[in-house]
Structure 1
Amino acid sequence: MKSAQPETFILDRIATPVGEVLLVVDADGAVVALDFEDYEARMMRLLTRHHGAFVLEPGAAPETTRAAVTAYFAGDRRALDGLVVRTNGTPFQHEVWAALRAIPAGETRTYGQLAAAIGRPKAVRAAGLANGQNPVALIVPCHRVIGANGTLTGYAGGLERKRWLLAHEAR
């Protein structure tokens, strides 16, 4: 029996005001991962978890995708809304990630509100775990989730970056 070839992804790098963004796309141009350069190891773990074996080649993402990321950091809060993502995960994770994408820029939700948004108000911890397994930061805006008391809670990109992103979107 012949084993499947690992999928090849393209890794692009885009400078932003809060550090270089690592943008990973598949052969169709769909975003499969987005993270900050100082969290590259985390991104690689999530890619492996969600896609198994893969090959990562340096290159350029489609210009429309690059332009959307640049526009977001230039102040267009909705620039990332139309980007196509391809994430592998459990059905529950996909529900949580869809709910994250429904949070408008400039707004936040608590983990409890996130769980309630998917019709599972008691699944607060599970929603938080799914939030943390999101491989596509910014586009699936996990940074818009805060603690029940309104405080900034863990963000894979760091709390200072989360604070910056929320202030950027509030403008």
Structure 2
Amino acid sequence: MNLMQTQMAPPASVHNALDTIAYAIGESAIGDILAARSDIGVCAILIGSDADTLEQDLANRFPGKVLVEDEATLRDDLAAIARFIETPGAGLDLRLDMRHGTPFQQRVWDVLRAIPCGATITYTAVARRLGQPNGARAVATACAANAIALGIPCHRVVRADGTLSGYRWGIERKRALLDKEAGR
């Protein structure tokens, strides 16, 4: 059963485009990936082990939105994401919709997007760049709220001692992404 069909009452054509998010699920080297797109750009890249969990995560992140499965619209985005996972040095050039965060989260995400592929940064260093030297926990919370995995590379943020800490999509995926970016 497609979970999203149970949440869509009238057809998408009845709704304002701003209320509609198209999504599709594909496969990658680190698990299933869900890409979702608003009228502005990619608003979610979620990583997981099964489609139902990914669809529920999307629904939880965008309450009140009409979610429409649309593989044709997202085919190129899914291909770009899978390519990035395999060859991160090539970059991930997707137009992003980052409206779904607080102003502080958006500032954190902007800093994360400036971290070069293959590099890491600490939560404290991000907080300092934002002028909040004691804000490492707030930075970690902003990373956890990130719905656009890889597009907003929160996997590049590490503890002060350089070790890996929590990653919404699993520490093993974080390690795999960082190893791939470092050419290991």
Q: TM-score, normalised by structure 2?
A: 0.80
Q: Name the Cα RMSD after superposition.
A: 1.9
Deviation digits for residues 134-156 of structure 1 (CA, Å, limit 9, x no counterpart): 11011100111111111110000
Q: Is the 8 A contact 1:107 1:144 kept in 2?
A: yes
| Structure 1 contact 20–36 (Cα < 8 Å) conserved | yes
SS of residue paired to 1:23: strand
Match in the other structure for 2:36:
24
In the aligned structure 2, how far is the partner of 1:133 from the partner of 1:83? 19
Q: Which has the higher helix share?
A: 2
Structure 2 residue aligned with 1:45:
60
Aligned match for 1:163, one of 154, 175, 179: 175
Shift >3 Å, 4+ stretches: 41-44, 61-64
Match of 1:85 in 2: 96
Name the % identity: 35
CA separation in 2, counterparts of 1:161 and 1:55? 29
Partner of 2:67: 56
Match status 1:34 vs 2:45? yes
Which entry has the higher C-alpha Rg, 1 or 2?
A: 2
- Separation in 1 of the partners of 2:108 and 2:139? 6
**Equivalent residue letter for 1:83:** L
Corresponding residue number in structure 1 for 2:7: none
Q: Gaps (5+ residues) in structure 2? A: 1-14
CA distance in 2, matches of 1:43, 1:130: 17
The 8 Å contact of residues 78 and 105 in structure 1, kept in 2 or not, is answered as no
TM-score of the superposed pair, with normalisation by structure 1: 0.85
